[in-house]
C-alpha cells in the first residue's frame, strides 16, 4: 500500500499551480541522482533561481532535523563537486540574510565542497509554513529520526496552538501516528536520547512507555541495550517488570513470572491503536481491559476511535 501524500508538499513553494515535475531518481546515498542542472545564474523573474553567496545563507531555527551524519554529508559534497547542485535551495529573506526553508543538507555539503555560491529560489513564507514545509520535506525523504519527528509535531502544535488533528492534517499523517509520535516525548531523557541516536527503535520506545516509573523505565532500557533484546523480548521484559509482587511478600527481588505472549501482543497492539497506556488482564476467557487517559481531550480522542460520540 502506498503512503498518502504529505500535506501540500514543496510544490506550493516550487511551482505554485504548475504541474509538478516527476520525482528525480535517487542514488544509494538518498540524494538526487545527478542530472544536467539548469544554469544557476538564469533568472525568469522573482520566482526564478539565482546564485547567492553561501555566507549569506543561514539555517532556520524552525528546522526539525538536527542530526546530519558526517559520512552522508561528505558523500553529497563529493557529488556536488562533480555535478554541482541539481536542486536549488529554498530560502526566504530575513533582514540581510537568506534563511533556509528547505535544503539545509545541501547547504552544509556545499560548504564542505568549498562552494562560494549556490542556486536558490526565494519565496515568501510565514514561520508556520516554514515549519510545516520543513517537516513535510523531511518526512517525504524519511530523514527525521523518531525524536526529531516528535519534536517537530510538538513545536507545530505549541507554537501555533494547533490540535493533534490539525497537525496531522497539515503534514499528511494520521492523528494516531502524530499522537504516537508525541508520546515518545514522555520517555525518560536518557531513553529518549537512545531513541534519537538509533540505539533503541521506536518500537522499543513504545513498549517502554508502558512503564510509569521513569527509574524503572530507564532500568528496563538499560537491560534492553545490554542484552540486545528485540521488541518482542522487550514486551515480555516489561510485562514481567509490571507484575505485582506476591501477596505478603517483602522481598525486594523476585523471579519474574511468565506472561502469556499472546496477551502481551494484544495489549501492545491496543496500546499502539489507542496511543495510550493499556492493561489487559486475561485468564480462561475472562478478564478486564483498562485504557488510561490524562485529559478530557484524550478521552474524547479514544471515544472517537471506538465510535462513541458524546453530544
Instruction: Round to whole Å and give the CA distance between 137 and 13.
Output: 11
Instruction: Round to whole Å and give the CA distance between 27 and 306.
Output: 44
Annotated catalytic residue, options 99, 104, 132, 236: 104
Instruction: Round to whole Å and give the CA distance between 168 and 8.
Output: 12
* β partners of residue 92: 99
The three cell numbers of residue 240 are 514481567
Instruction: Round to whole Å and give the CA distance between 6 and 137.
Output: 9
Asked whether 194 and 138 are in contact (CB, 8 A), the reply is: no
DSSP secondary structure of 132-176: HHHHHHHHHTT---HHHHHHHHHHHHHHTT--HHHHHHHHT--HH
Asked whether 122 and 98 are in contact (CB, 8 A), the reply is: yes
The three cell numbers of residue 249 are 511478600
Q: Which residues neighbour 115 within 8 Å (Cβ) at sequence distance 6 or greater?
A: 54, 80, 85
CB atoms within 10 A of CB 155: 15
Residue 104 appears among annotated catalytic residues = yes
Instruction: Round to whole Å and give the CA distance between 43 and 177.
Output: 41
**Could you give the residue numbers annotated as active site?**
104
Amino acid at each position: 500500500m502506498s503512503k498518502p501524500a504529505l500535506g501540500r508538499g514543496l510544490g506550493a513553494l516550487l511551482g505554485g499551480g504548475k504541474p509538478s515535475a516527476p520525482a528525480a531518481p535517487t542514488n544509494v546515498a538518498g540524494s538526487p541522482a545527478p542530472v544536467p542542472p539548469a544554469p544557476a545564474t538564469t533568472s525568469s523573474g522573482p520566482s526564478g533561481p539565482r546564485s547567492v553567496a553561501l555566507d549569506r545563507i543561514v539555517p532556520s531555527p524552525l528546522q526539525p532535523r538536527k542530526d546530519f551524519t558526517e559520512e552522508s554529508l561528505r558523500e553529497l559534497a563529493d557529488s556536488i563537486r562533480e555535478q554541482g547542485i541539481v536542486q536549488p535551495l529554498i530560502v526566504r529573506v530575513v533582514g540581510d540574510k537568506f534563511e533556509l526553508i528547505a535544503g539545509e543538507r545541501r547547504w552544509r555539503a556545499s560548504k564542505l565542497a568549498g562552494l562560494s555560491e549556490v542556486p536558490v529560489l526565494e519565496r515568501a513564507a510565514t514561520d508556520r509554513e516554514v515549519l510545516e514545509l520543513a517537516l513535510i520535506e523531511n518526512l517525504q525523504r524519511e530523514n527525521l529520526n523518531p525524536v526529531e519527528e516528535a519534536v517537530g509535531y510538538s513545536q507545530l502544535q505549541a507554537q501555533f496552538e494547533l490540535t493533534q488533528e490539525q497537525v496531522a492534517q497539515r503534514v499528511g499523517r494520521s492523528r494516531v501516528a502524530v499522537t504516537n509520535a508525541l508520546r515518545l516525548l514522555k520517555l525518560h531523557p536518557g531513553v529518549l536520547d537512545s531513541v534519537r541516536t538509533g540505539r533503541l527503535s521506536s518500537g522499543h520506545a513504545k513498549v517502554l512507555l508502558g512503564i510509569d516509573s521513569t527509574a524503572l523505565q530507564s532500568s528496563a532500557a538499560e537491560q534492553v541495550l545490554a542484552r540486545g533484546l528485540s521488541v518482542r523480548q522487550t514486551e515480555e521484559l516489561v510485562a514481567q517488570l509490571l507484575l505485582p509482587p506476591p501477596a505478603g511478600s517483602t522481598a525486594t527481588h523476585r523471579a519474574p513470572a511468565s506472561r502469556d505472549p499472546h496477551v502481551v501482543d494484544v495489549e501492545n497492539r491496543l496500546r499502539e491503536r489507542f496511543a495510550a497506556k493499556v492493561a489487559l488482564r486475561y485468564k480462561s476467557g475472562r478478564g478486564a481491559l483498562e485504557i488510561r487517559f490524562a485529559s478530557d481531550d484524550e478521552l474524547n480522542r479514544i471515544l472517537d476511535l471506538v465510535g462513541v460520540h458524546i453530544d
